[in-house]
Amino acid sequence: MAKVLMLQGTGSDVGKSVLVAGLCRMLRQDGVRVAPFKPQNMALNSYITADGGEMGRAQVVQAEAAGVEPHTDMNPVLLKPTTDVGAQVILQGRVYGNMRAREYHAFKPKARQVALESFRRLARRFEVILVEGAGSPAEINLRDGDLANMGFALEVGAPVVLVGDIDKGGVFASLVGTLELLEPAERDLIRAFLINKFRGDPSLLDPAFRAVTGRTGKPFLGVVPYFRDIFIQEEDGIHREVVRTPTGGEVRVAVVVPNRISNFTDFDPFLAEPGVRLDFVWPGERVGRADAIVLPGSKNTVDDLHALWRCGLADEILENRRRGAWVVGICGGYQMLGRWVRDPLGVESSRQEARGFGLLDVETVMEPEKVTAQSESRVRPGALDWYPDDDILKGYEIHMGRTRLGPGAAPLLEVRRKGHGSWHPDGAVSPDGRVFGTYLHGIFDNDAFRQAFLGLFRTGQARTTSFARRKEEGYDRLAALLRKHLDVDGLRRILDGSPDV
């Protein structure tokens, strides 16, 4: 069976996901067969595996860093919020159903068994499993039936490194306070502390290290500096300081953010492009003038459409279109570009319908069956005069709606899902070609398509970039950073079960 190490945090967004990715790449470089694992993940940013299962993007990024194929066993329980008190529950890649918070609390024993089943399968296939916790293990109200943090660690006997985010402030109080709220057996599993996101001279922390270690008996494994110059995809949420490129840029792409945005990483490839300014625009902000406006996916398209009309962003999108901007929609964003989105069965919303932007002659009806597949596609002949129709584009589909085209729209793509031999039409394009939408996530990950699209707005020849290569460079640089700033030998001793760190 595999050796196990679990990273837990003093709270959400302390950097656990990125640290696990870096450790995965570091161990891979050392010739270790390593896999990531997160028992329970709550995220709207998901991915479809080769066998059509759905999992969180965090573990996809970590699997890429480990050099292994993403598998739903790496994230056996995925919760995709649909409202403030409810979520779609996905077990081992398949939709189980929608639950409110209290329902899911009663369901936890079943989810726990699913998570353990997946973990044991992975442990038979790999030498090391790096486990990521969720939120904080010190949430007393969530301890009953816990499968995300200490409940899981106790079950499998996983040693734990507790991560604190010093950028938030109060990191030492958070570390000590977390220990104080744990049970003795849980405290025993925590082998060391790790400080993340530090700015400044780490030697200034030495007095605090001595005081905290003296009080708790737990050593520190190192201090990871705050970095901005290493490209790692944001896995579970959008951070405003990293989704706006510097002011300027020949081409401006504006992503309008709905409240229940999903798969925002569809637009990360634009961050790799020189001369492109990418802005995420939230409700309450202004779009301004843009060359292209992109509408991302949504886990509640009907409610998000109402919200975009109410806050004025819908009108700004339409005004940009009148000025000549291009408008693109992916998945839920594609549905929003049509005339109406209807949800008569309450699949996502308690509202039965919402008026779309009317930029494409299409209408969407939500249906209970969820499409999840890796897919390949090609542009339909004549659909886009700036892109060849013989080039194969890779991507994946995650959607619950069925969209029907009217006479004023033409199909954009032909798509073939993995495991199926037949091609079928997907998406739609306006008569002038400046508005198009598709259900194909990851379409802009295809370098040639992205660069051809940006070429519509550029005045000169831009340097070509490879998004896949940029990701690989990011993983390697992150691993090098961790080797420099962490006690790697101490980490190995924890993995090997040594009592000394």
Q: Which amino acid would we find at residue 266?
A: D
Six-digit token pair at 123? Answer: 């442990």
Q: Count CB neighbours of 177 within 10 A.
A: 13
Q: Which two structure tokens, joined as six digits, stand for 174?
A: 């958070």
Q: How many CB atoms lie within 10 A of CB 192?
A: 20
Taken in order 312, 318, 320, 322, the sign of the CA dihedral is: negative
Q: What contacts 482, CB < 8 A, 6 or more positions away?
A: 19, 22, 23, 26, 224, 488
Q: Would you tell me the crossing angle of helices 467-485 and 57-66 to the nearest 10 degrees?
A: 80
3-class secondary-structure state, position 265: helix
Contact 242, 167 (CB under 8 A): no
Q: Quick check: helix, strand or coil at residue 45? A: coil
Rounded-to-integer distance, Cα 414 and Cα 102, Å: 43
DSSP β-ladder status, 353-355 and 340-342: antiparallel
306 given a catalytic annotation: no
Catalytic residue among 71, 331, 399, 485: 331
* Pairwise CA distance, residues 340 & 228, whole Å: 41
Q: Which residues contact 411 (CB under 8 A, 6 or more apart)?
A: 380, 383, 405, 425, 426, 427, 428, 429
24 assigned to active site: no
Strand segments, DSSP code E, in 69-225 are 77-81, 86-91, 94-100, 128-132, 160-165, 190-198, 220-225
Tokens in use for 145?
């039936």
Cα distance between residue 40 and residue 43, in whole Å: 10
Alpha-carbon distance of 169 to 405, in angstroms, equals: 53
Collapsing DSSP states into helix, strand and coil, what is residue 439?
coil
DSSP label at 486? B
Q: How far apart are CA 37 and CA 129, in angstroms?
A: 7
- Backbone φ and ψ for 313, nearest 5 degrees, come out as -70, -35
Distance CA 111, CA 109 (A): 5
Whole-angstrom distance, CA of residue 299 vs CA of residue 261: 7
Indicate the DSSP class of residue 141: G
Can you state the percent helix, strand and coil of the chain, rounding each to 5?
35, 30, 35
> Contact, 232 vs 239, CB < 8 A?
no
For residues 424 and 413, the answer to whether their CB atoms sit within 8 Å is no
Phi, psi of 130 (to 5 degrees): -100, 115
Q: Which of 71, 399, 441, 485 is catalytic?
A: 441
Residues involved in catalysis:
331, 441
